[in-house]
Amino acid sequence: MRAEMGVGAKKRALVIGAGGLGCAVLPLLARAGLETVVLDDDTVSLSNLQRQLLFATADLGRPKADAAAERVRALVPGASVEARLERLTPEHAFDLLEGIDVVVDGSDNFPTRFLVNDACVLTGTPLVHGAILRFTGQVMSVRPSETACYRCLFEEPPPAGVVPSCAEAGVLGALCGIVGAWMAWSATSLLSGADAGNDLIVHDALAGTTRVVGLGRDPACAVCGNTPSIRSLLTERYVEAQACVA
């Protein structure tokens, strides 16, 4: 896979979240030869097992990042997977992105998604975003300064409580594998120089359909537009947003 995709050795991916999407993405990235850092501050619970396929009952109560990294190393001999038992915050986002070639965001809340997007745009780090809810999933790739970013699509996070979480609304377990595979493909495409596109891929598992929504950069985007207003992560905007997911 590494040779076919032209990914090459020593490429590093940062995977945000070891939930349903993270568990699907991590083994695929490892098999593609990427060195991977997985970031998650949560622990494995019984309700996770329906969709987070790297975990078993023996992992209940363990840090997800640790359990996921251990499992991937067992599945892919020689795989380099580093577990970071923490949550992304504005204070250390840039430090975490240092030496990272692509970020794969499988987080489950809007404040983190916007923080990841803005950090990647400001540092010029390629990003793959993925999200799932109930029977629907979406994936988009971001090449900073070249393509639309997540904030071009959604200007600001919705108010707290407006959009239910996966825990509240539920998610089809098999959907994690479908969306996770798209995310892994997008990440390896970005690293190999292939044209992963900048379209939004939307998969409806209930209807059995996949549609592609064309995207374009928003000249008025606050972080990647012609006159960006976001130039730092250490602002009140992020402090308040992160307090919602603490």
* Whole-prediction pTM: 0.90
218-243 tens-digit pLDDT: 999 999 999 999 998 987 666 555 54
Structural element, H or E, at residue 203: strand 200-204
Residue spans per domain, the chain: 2-243
Structural element, H or E, at residue 74: helix 64-75
Mean pLDDT of the chain: 89
**Domain 2-243 sits in CATH 3.40.50.720:** yes
125-164 tens-digit pLDDT: 999 999 998 899 999 999 998 999 999 999 888 766 656 6
- How far is Cα of residue 56 from the mean position of the Cα atoms in its chain? 22
Give dist(CA 108, CA 198) in Å, integer: 21
Mean pLDDT of 63-72: 98
Out of 78-87, 158-167, 189-198, the most confident range is 78-87
